[in-house]
Structures are given as C-alpha cells and as structure tokens.
Amino acid sequence: MVWLGNLGLTNHTTSVLRSIFQQVTDAIVVVNGQGVVAGANPAAEKMTGWTAEELSGQIHFCDICRGMANCMEEASCVDCFAHRPSMPSFEMKVRRKDGQEVSVAASSTQLQDHDTKMLVVILRDMSEQHRMERERFQRMMTKYMIEAQEKERKRVSRDLHDGVGQALYSVMVGLKMLNELEFDEPIRKHLQEVQQMTTRALEEVKNMAVELRPSALDDLGLIPAIRSYMKRYEQTFGIETELETIGSKRRYGASVETALYRICQEAMTNTAKYADADKVKVRLTDTPHQVELYLEDNGSGFETDQIRIKGTGLGLYGMRERASLLGGTVDIQSAPNKGTSVHIVIPINEKGEPLHVDPSTYRG
C-alpha cells in the first residue's frame, strides 16, 4: 500500500486507514493521476478476479471500467469521475479478469497532498440486488397472472350461468310445454330426446361454471366451497372423500380463500389423475395466527426428489407460488406405495387476511 504512505499522513492515521481498507466489504480501487490503478483491497480482488499485485501499477482503470455514459476513454480518471452526476453513487459495470461483467454501484472521492493526486473509487456489487429485483418482478407478474386468471374465470362462469345456462333453461321450459300438447308418437319421442339432450347440456354448463369459479366460494366461503367440490369430486372420479374442520369456521380474506381452494383443487386433481387412490382426506385447521390445509391420499405415491407433480393450471409451481405470495408455505411428502400428503400454512391476522405480504405486489 505504497500509495497510502505517499499521502503524508501520520502513522496512526495511516494505520487506521490501512485497517479499514483491508476489512471493508465494498471493493476499493485507488487510481493515480494517470488513471493507473495504484492499489486495491481484498474485496476488489474478489470482485475483479485480479490480485492487488496484478492491478497495482499494471492496469489502467479504463481497462476494468465498463458501461459509464460519456466515458472519457484513457482520460484522467479524476476528470472522468468529475463528470458523473452529483449523486452518492451511480451504476456502471466492471470487467473481471475472466471477461465477465459485474454490475456495480460506484462512488468516488479525490485525495490530494502536495503533488500527489489520487482518486478512490468505491464499488458495491449489485448482482444480488438485481437478482432480487428480477425475482420480485417475476413474483409480481405471477401474482397479476393469477389475479387476471381468477377474474376471467369469474366472468366466464357468470356468463355461462346467466347467459348460456338461462337460455338452455328457457329451451327446456319450452320443450316441456310442447310435450304437454298432443303430437304423434314419433314427434313426441323426438321432443323427449331433445329435452334430454338439453338437460344434459344444461348440467354440463353448470358444471363448467362451477369448475371455473364456484359461486359458493364468494357467497358462502371456503368450507362450503370445498365441501361442494368434494361432493362433485366423488361423483366424477369415484374416490371417497372426507373433510375435517378444526377451530373456527370463520370467513377469511378473499385472497386467502381463493388460494386455499385452488391449491386444494389442484392437489385433489393430481390425486385423481396420477395417484390411483380410493380415498382423500382433507383437514382445515384454523388458529388465531394461521390457517392450515392438509390433504392426504392413500395412492401410489412417488419419489419427491425425482418426480415433478403435474396437474392443471400452474401445477406444483402454481400451488407454491399462490401460498408464497401470501407469505405461506406448501410442503409435499410422498413415497412409493405410501400415498401423498400436501400441507399448506398461511399466516393470517385476526381479520383472516394474510399476515406477510409484499406491499408492492398485494392489492387488498
């Protein structure tokens, strides 16, 4: 650290600065008046991949500096940094020894004593922050996608019920009135066949509307919606179901109820498609600080570290993401021939709203 001794400081001050220089976690690069690196701390070595010896006196700072707007190539670094915006730091890129570039936040200060003119550049690695920002953006997009999907499901479900469903019901009423009139037997038989076809079509429309967005979930709450789904599930797949509720049977926030219902639906669909089970147990437990949903089947099971659960919608990723967006967790346990269990926990407050939610991604 010859550069430090050239500043004409007292021994005590030099010792303190040397200790700080070595221990600080931000990268510090000292540049002389010609733009050549005069010193670098261990954090700078780690960031750039060069040793302090390789940097000092050998490399022009412009060789590792990338991405600065209006870069004054091979100019005095003191002059170059003097053109930076008057802010605590700005973003730039540093080129590592291996050629890779690292995004950093840079700030600088000038040191001068007599004829010695130097620039101290402090670099903070922004890679982790950028990674976190990307993850946050991805979570935001996932949340908006889920919200948009639920909104569209609700709209289509309502349109099916109020539009197509009502139209088919009107047709059924008309056919019933026609059946009360006297027709020849062939015509009467044909009317009955059309009436039966219309009845089946109406049932299918009702089932589609419920699958898209059950009105019970909005009108009655999570428990009645799950109970109604389990009844349809038994009729559709022939798999026995059992629902147990522990604690209060209160309503939760719409986001909590929707997430738990969709996760339950997804997990039970997986069981019907892949587990070869004949029974599914569901337990909903309410406590003052969290709500838990536990599903268990007696199916074939699988190796959790080898098989990715498949299913409708977003599958396992969607189940975990729905819970995660509300500060919750999803734990899946399974083994060959030992069935599968899915355990969901969502922290809630006294009003049944999610307790831990990123304010930037949650809208009431």
Measure Cα distances from 65 to 36, 89, 200, 309, 343 in Å: 12, 15, 71, 46, 50
Q: Does 71 count as an annotated binding residue?
A: no
- Helix ranges (DSSP H) in the chain: 2-5, 11-23, 42-48, 52-55, 61-64, 77-82, 127-159, 166-179, 185-212, 215-219, 222-237, 254-270, 315-324
* φ, ψ (nearest 5 deg) of residue 168: -65, -35
Cα gap 364→353, rounded to integer Å: 9
Q: Residue 177 corresponds to which tokens in the numbers above?
A: 């009135």
**CB of 128 closer than 8 Å to CB of 113:** no
Cα gap 44→40, rounded to integer Å: 6
CA-wise closest residue to 314 among 245, 253, 256, 267: 267
Q: Does 77 count as an annotated binding residue?
A: yes
For every residue of 82-126, DSSP letters joined together read HTS-SSS-EEEEEE-TTS-EEEEEEEEEEEEETTEEEEEEEEEE-
Q: Residue 84 corresponds to which tokens in the numbers above?
A: 């930076």
Measure Cα distances from 50 to 2, 35, 269, 310 in Å: 18, 17, 55, 47
For every residue of 121-146, DSSP letters joined together read EEEEE-HHHHHHHHHHHHHHHHHHHH
3-class secondary structure, 336: coil
CA 4 to chain centre: 48
**CB of 47 closer than 8 Å to CB of 92:** no
Binding-site positions read: 62, 65, 77, 80
Binding-site positions for [4Fe-4S] cluster read: 62, 65, 77, 80
